[in-house]
């Protein structure tokens, strides 16, 4: 048993474990001579004599490859539940937009995180243009509670990106539902193996599957999962209206990638926590954040609601020059945006200009490399940056 990995809550008789779920989720019933995971279905239309009934009529509405993937993701989001519906999208932002724009109308108020994904402010502008009041508050300290009164929807992002603050999902859900508000949780950083928002009471679990869910940096995809069939139908209708559909090849690649989700996530989470422990002792590193560290401000809440603590670390170096030289010196880490992939990546997040972070702030996504190799590379790059820049 690896002490760095939070052990999944799985005991005999409680149903399959995470690895079994990931490998088997969404597969069709076996048919002799047919593949276990059918290939992508490329179809703009389907044979449809007579009345237009049945699941597959036109390619913008449904596709068998989406169906397999949606069932697979639903299984991971809420194991053992038959009533959860999942809708897949062409990107994470398409999934986010679908929830917000299908559930809110002119005159409604929405609460969004002030420290969330940097594309959210683009949605602020669009929501206000539609006559929707936008309120914001930070993730940490459950601060969104302070602006929740009278809102129609609460949007939670926990852990937050890139600051890695955590809020108490159960507490926020209880308060929101008491006031008649829906709750959506952006679960991108955690994945369903790290946290299951629907089990914690949320109405929607949303993610950019571009990140950890698919994990190879080669697919743009997103999804929305919820228990309420009427809400799911509204989200699905929005997908049809705007045409934010995934390609069948992307959906098939995503489903194939899910089979290794537990293997990838466990390796990445374990290495991330090990690296965070090393960085905590390094004199050049300040502002270190990782919810798995016992000394992290968010650890107590994270330990109550997260099953794994994620593969992302954030920290600060002295200034922009030191951060950029550190990134240049890394040999096993790509200087790239995004996170959750099998190849480690890092970036100076301030280069985008949309996050309230210091010039030397680094978001580091831990991949599946050998932990010893990755940690040695990071320490060498830190030393080289100090010598080069001072």
Catalytic residues: 60, 117, 186, 211
User: What is the rounded CA–CA span in Å between residue 118 and residue 355?
Assistant: 6
User: What is the rounded CA–CA span in Å between residue 89 and residue 243?
Assistant: 9
β pairing state of 345-348 and 361-365: antiparallel
Closest CA to 125 of 150, 100, 149, 142: 100
Could you tell me if 197 and 174 are in contact, meaning their C-beta atoms sit under 8 angstroms apart?
no
Cβ contacts of 127 within 8 Å, gap of 6 or more: 100, 101, 104, 110, 134
In what order do the strands lie in the sheet containing 286-289?
Answer: 286-289, 312-316, 361-365, 345-348, 334-335
User: What is the rounded CA–CA span in Å between residue 155 and residue 197?
Assistant: 12
Cβ contacts of 143 within 8 Å, gap of 6 or more: 137, 167
| Biggest CA-to-CA distance, the chain | 76
């Amino acid at each position: 048993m690896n002490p760095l990995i939070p052990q999944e809550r799985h005991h005999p008789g409680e149903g399959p474990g995470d690895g079994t779920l990931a490998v088997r989720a969404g597969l069709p019933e076996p048919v002799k001579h047919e593949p276990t995971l059918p290939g992508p279905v490329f179809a703009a239309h389907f044979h449809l004599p007579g009345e237009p009934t049945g699941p597959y009529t036109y390619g913008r509405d449904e596709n068998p490859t989406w169906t397999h993937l949606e069932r697979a993701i639903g299984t991971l989001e809420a194991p053992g539940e038959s009533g959860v519906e999942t809708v897949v999208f062409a990107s994470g932002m398409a999934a986010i937009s679908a929830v917000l724009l299908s559930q809110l109308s002119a005159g409604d108020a929405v609460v969004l995180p002030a420290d969330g994904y940097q594309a959210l402010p683009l949605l602020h502008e669009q929501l206000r243009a539609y006559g929707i009041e936008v309120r914001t508050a930070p993730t940490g300290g459950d601060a969104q509670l302070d602006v929740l009164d009278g809102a129609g929807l609460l949007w939670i992002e926990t852990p937050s990106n890139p600051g890695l603050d955590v809020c108490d999902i159960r507490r926020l859900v209880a308060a929101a539902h008491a006031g008649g508000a829906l709750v959506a949780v952006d679960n991108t950083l955690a994945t369903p193996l790290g946290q299951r928002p629907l089990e914690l009471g949320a109405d929607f679990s949303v993610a950019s599957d571009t990140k950890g869910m698919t994990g190879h940096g080669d697919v743009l995809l997103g999804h929305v999962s919820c228990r309420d069939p009427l809400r799911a139908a509204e989200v699905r209708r929005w997908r049809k209206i705007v045409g934010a559909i995934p390609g069948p090849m992307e959906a098939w690649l995503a489903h194939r990638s899910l089979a290794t989700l537990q293997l990838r996530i466990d390796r990445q989470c374990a290495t991330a926590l090990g690296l965070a422990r090393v960085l905590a002792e390094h004199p050049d590193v300040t502002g270190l954040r990782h919810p798995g560290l016992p000394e992290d401000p968010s650890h107590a809440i994270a330990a109550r609601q997260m099953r794994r603590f994620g593969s992302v670390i954030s920290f600060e170096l002295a200034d922009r020059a030191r951060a950029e030289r550190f990134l240049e010196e890394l040999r096993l880490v790509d200087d790239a945006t995004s996170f959750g992939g099998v190849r480690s990546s890092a970036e100076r997040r301030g280069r985008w200009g949309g996050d309230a972070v210091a010039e030397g702030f680094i978001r580091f996504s831990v991949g599946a490399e050998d932990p010893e190799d990755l940690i040695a590379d990071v320490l060498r790059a830190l030393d080289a940056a100090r010598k080069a820049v001072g």
